[in-house]
Each structure stands twice: as structure tokens, then as C-alpha cells.
Amino acid sequence: MRLPGRERLRYWAERAVFPFCPGGVILLYHRVCELSSDPQRLCVSPKHFAEHLEYLRGHGCVISLSALAEKLEAKVLPGRFVAVTFDDGYSDNLYEAKPLLERYRTPATVFVTGGCVRQEREFWWDELDRLLLQPGRLPETLQLNIGGNLFRLALGKAAHYTGEDYCRCRGWNMEERHDPSARQSIYRALCKLLGPLPESERRKALDGLLAWAGAEPAIRASHRVLSGKEALQMEEGGLVEVGAHAMTHPVLSSLPSAAQRSEILRSKTLLEDILGRRVQAFSYPYGSHSDYTGETVSMVREAGFVCACSNFAGFVGRGTELFQLPRLLVRDWDGGEFASRLGKWFDG
């Protein structure tokens, strides 16, 4: 399995020290659906997701995140286990993923971005997709004020993006090195610029982009997130648990302490009001080492969560930190590739 160098070293170091040590992995999904364009590679098709669950059921090793947290704290981990999680709180988690989780009796935790349950806008990366990567005509030059700096980007020929252009380019994603047109280059550049901004600055920049594109704010049915009622439905049946994913999906490490604390606490309180129970698990937005700090980890712990998930690959063993649980990011792999990648984690 291709892992970033540091994670690979950590994995092998852990395996060398505890070759027969019990442990497992936590899977990170985002969406279960099929979209014609998925520039962030967030979607796993329902067919592939069913194949993943079939494999997991055949290996009898699935555990809920809350049970895993309890066992990790008590240092009594089961032999080999897998836990399933989802980030962001897209509505397909309820309508596509949940029926499959029920069919295969697989527990899961869905981390919901608190501020999104009001359904005011799409996630910012989806709004960029709607404005830039869908067919249509845009002005030839984009001038945009982002956080007080004026950016000027030229679309050139890609100002007119036909249905054929869209069909030719729709398989593109951010991990590709080559951008097939200026539309993808601008999408990539704006992701980089908007990602670290505080919500209010990002909203201003997106409003500027909407005005430039002559478009209205809209939420596509295909890009909707769970409403409060749907978050409650997600937990019906007891197989799925809802966790918190901050309020506005910020890079927590980029915020002052008070704003970080507010993001963490408000998401917990809001979801607890909706669900009528204590919310126990947190997931750091974006979740890599640079997206949160030691102070963030302390704040999450002090807020009363019992565990928190990150977004870097790693094996969960006895020494794993309960508030920085590593996860394997799952892509739209078929059952064979999923089994092979998981097998490599367990068998080397």
C-alpha cells in the first residue's frame, strides 16, 4: 500500500515492536453515491460500498467507534478490527449508506458539520464545482478579492465550457497532475486560497464569485447535507452514531484559540440539542497533522468528547492516542481492491 513516508515508517515501527499486538484500522468515507463529477474524490458508489461491507462481514471484525474508544481506553483491544466512519454529513449517508449498513449489520459513526444542518449553502468546495466545473459561459477574466488581496485569473478559451468539454473533463480530480482546462486550474487555485480562510472571509469570496458568474446561491439535491431531522433519523435503529465535525468546517489550526473553542463546543451543543443525547466523538475538519494543534486536542478533550478522529493513515494499537485516531481514507475501490488494501494493513 502506498503510504506517505512518515506514516509508512510509523506503521512498520509499530508492527516491528508489536508484531502480534491486537489492533485494527478505522475507515474514513465521505459520500456513498455516484456523481458525474467528483473533483475531491469523495464518492464511493453504492455498489462498491456494498462490496466493502460484504468483505468486512465475511471477516467478522467490525466494531463501532464508541466501542473501540472504550476498549482502547481500557487497553483491551480485540484481535483485528475495523471501524467505519463518515465525515462531513452529506445526506446520501442516510439514503444510500444507511440501508447498506443495515443490510450488512455494520455499525458506523457519521461526523456532521454542525453549521450545515441549516442548509444555507453547499460546502464551499461543492459551490466551486457548481460555479466553475459545470458547463456554461463565464466572463473571460476572474478578478476576486480574497482576504483583502485581489486575484486575477484568466479563463481564456475555457470561458465557454461546452457540454462536450464537460464530458471530456468530468473524470478529473484534484490528485491529477495535469489540468485539462483553465476551469480545473482555477478550481484548484481557489481551493488552495479559500480552504484556510475563516468562514466569514470565505463567504465574502464566494459571494464575489457568485456575482462574477452571474449565479444565485443554490443547493443541489445531489450535494445536500443532513438536516437536523435527518441527523436524528440517521441514529434510528441504533446502528449509526452521529459525531461532531465543528460548525463551519474550518482549518482549526488557523483560528485563534477562542474561535477554535467555539467551533468545537457549538457543534457539540447544537447536535446534542437535535439528538437529545450526549455527543461523544469528534472529527477534526481536514484532519491532517497541520490542520489542528496540541491545543485543539486539549480543547476537544475538555469539551467532553471521549475520542477524536484525524485524517492520516495508521494502525490503531495499544499506544494510539484516543484523541488523534488515525484513519484510512477510502476511495471508490471495488471489492477486490478494498480487500487487497485492507489485507496489506493487516498482513503487511
From 3-11, 13-21, 81-89, 297-305, span contacting Zn ion (CB under 5 A):
81-89
Least distance between Zn ion and beta carbon 75 (Å) = 30
Minimum CB–partner distance for residue 242 and Zn ion (Å): 14
Beta bridge partners of residue 149, listed in sequence order: 146
Contact stretch for Zn ion (CB under 5 A) within 41-49, 80-88, 212-220, 331-339: 80-88
To Zn ion, the closest distance from the beta carbon of 87 in angstroms equals 4
Asked if residue 314 lies in contact with residue 7, where contact means CB atoms within 8 angstroms, the answer is yes
Neighbouring residues of 167: CB distance < 8 A, sequence distance ≥ 6: none
**How far apart are the C-alpha atoms of 222 and 157, rounded to whole Å?**
29
Residues recorded for the chain: 348
Whole-number Å distance between alpha carbons of 123 and 225: 9
Site for Zn ion contains 122 (CB under 5 A): no
Contact (Cβ atoms closer than 8 angstroms) between residue 155 and residue 141 = yes
Report the alpha-carbon distance of residue 183 to residue 46 in Å, rounded. 29
Which of 14, 38, 51, 88 contacts Zn ion by CB under 5 A? Answer: 88
Minimum separation from the CB atom of position 254 to Zn ion (A): 15
Which CB sits closer to Zn ion, 31 or 183? 31
Q: Is 126 in the site for Zn ion (CB under 5 A)?
A: no
CB of 245 to Zn ion, least distance (A): 6
Stretch binding Zn ion (CB under 5 A), from 120-128, 139-147, 174-182, 283-291: 283-291
Strand order through the sheet with 240-244: 307-309, 281-283, 240-244, 108-112, 80-86, 23-29, 328-329
Q: Which residue is nearest to Zn ion (CB)?
A: 87
The residues, ordered by sequence, that sit 6+ positions from 159 with a Cβ below 8 Å of its Cβ are 137, 138, 139, 140
Return the residue of 38, 87, 92, 263 that touches Zn ion, per CB under 5 A.
Answer: 87
Which residue stretch of 88-96, 100-108, 129-137, 254-262 sits at the interface with Zn ion (rule: CB under 5 A)? 88-96
DSSP 152-210: EEE-GGGGEE-HHHHHHHTT--TT-S--SSHHHHHHHHHHHHHTTS-HHHHHHHHHHHH
Return the number of the residue (87 or 127) whose C-beta is nearest Zn ion.
Answer: 87
Cell matching residue 74:
481500557
Among the candidate windows 18-26, 231-239, 255-263, 278-286, which touches Zn ion by CB under 5 A?
278-286
Q: Which is closer to Zn ion, CB of 113 or CB of 280?
A: 113
d(CA 318, CA 344) in angstroms, rounded, equals 20
Binding part of the chain for Zn ion, among 19-27, 38-46, 79-87, 121-129 by CB under 5 A, reads 79-87
Taking CA 107 as the corner, what is the angle to CA 101 and CA 109, rounded to the nearest 5 degrees? Answer: 100
Minimum Å distance from CB 73 to Zn ion? 25
Q: Which positions touch Zn ion (CB under 5 A)?
A: 87-88, 285
